[in-house]
Amino acid sequence: MGTVVIALGGNALLKRGEPMTEENQRRNARLAAEALAPLCLEHTAVVTHGNGPQVGLLALQQEGSDTPATLDVLGAQTEGAIGYMIEQELGNVLPFDKPIATILTMTEVDLDDPAFKNPTKFIGKVYSEEEAKKEADAKGWVVKQDGKYWRRVVASPEPKRIFQLHPIQWLLEKGTTVVAAGGGGIPTAYDPNAERQLIGVECVIDKDNASSLLARDLKADFFVVATDADAVYLDWGKPEQKAIRSATPDGMDAYDFPAGSMGPKVKAAQDFARATGNRAVICSLADIPQAVKGEKGTTIFAGAGETAFY
């Protein structure tokens, strides 16, 4: 038995094109729990998850408010709601005496991170250029063009530290399956104008990046990135596409992956494999049990040798 960190993609709770109803999210949480259950029984497990669609919806609901909640508070709300669904559905498929806990997780960011000077993460609804610039002037936003529309953008800084690392470790030592670092964690920083005072930050943290940091800090035996693809592909969507079975972290550097989809997942897996020497796996949710055994998905680790394909 070892420790495994499983990062669930946003599709774990909301499939592409599905309405964001509680019923849909609950059904998908149930499917995720059924796929995760074998791993939670065989290993000490931490489950992380995305929150992009959920926090985006909450941000939209806030836009008409005179006192809108900040992104860190919206992130905390989604951590609680999504964690509740995952925790409850896992409890419905795991043995009655298997403890499960959701940890509201804060992630430290650096206010001097270069990402704050060039926000790139689109959130919220679309506007015309005139509307977007009017909203930006009124609310202090940064807006950028997104295709033929304009949208608000926020920074996506590097995660520096998981504040709740020790409580997560204590729970794992007691055999608890832990749900943590949802949505990359609640973005938090130290106030530069006060000593040891934490403040929330208006930004978003990449979920895979934060999950990789948590997996490294926990010295996990496996880091699993579950997505809607069954492996990492070269020439995705083309007739000559091929799936990578295994590669070293340096071997993956030979290829370019889209920044908006597979790129962050590959980087997160590389960072974990380089730091720990252990295996990182990128696979579909349904394939997790087989992927951990090397039978499916893409495995990245230092001892992989030459890049192998299916």
Q: Which residues are marked as active site? A: 10-11, 121, 207, 265
Are 230 and 243 in contact by the 8 Å Cβ rule? The answer is yes
Tokens at 61, concatenated: 């609901």
Are 85 and 42 in contact by the 8 Å Cβ rule? The answer is no
How many Å apart are CA 38 and CA 292, to the nearest integer?
11
How many Å apart are CA 97 and CA 119, to the nearest integer?
45
Give DSSP secondary structure letters for 34-75. Answer: HHHHHHHHHSEEEEEE--HHHHHHHHHHHTT-SSPPPHHHHH
The candidate with the shortest Cα–Cα distance to 152, out of 121, 115, 110, is 121
How many Å apart are CA 106 and CA 80, to the nearest integer?
12
How many Å apart are CA 285 and CA 224, to the nearest integer?
10
Are 149 and 133 in contact by the 8 Å Cβ rule? The answer is no
- Looking at the chain, the number of H-run helices and the number of E-run strands are 9, 17
- The CA R_g of the chain, rounded to the nearest whole Å, is 19
Instruction: Print burial letters for 140-156: b (CB count within 10 Å at least 16), e (below 16).
Output: ebebeeeeeebbbbbbb
The candidate with the shortest Cα–Cα distance to 158, out of 206, 96, 192, is 206
Are 17 and 1 in contact by the 8 Å Cβ rule? The answer is no
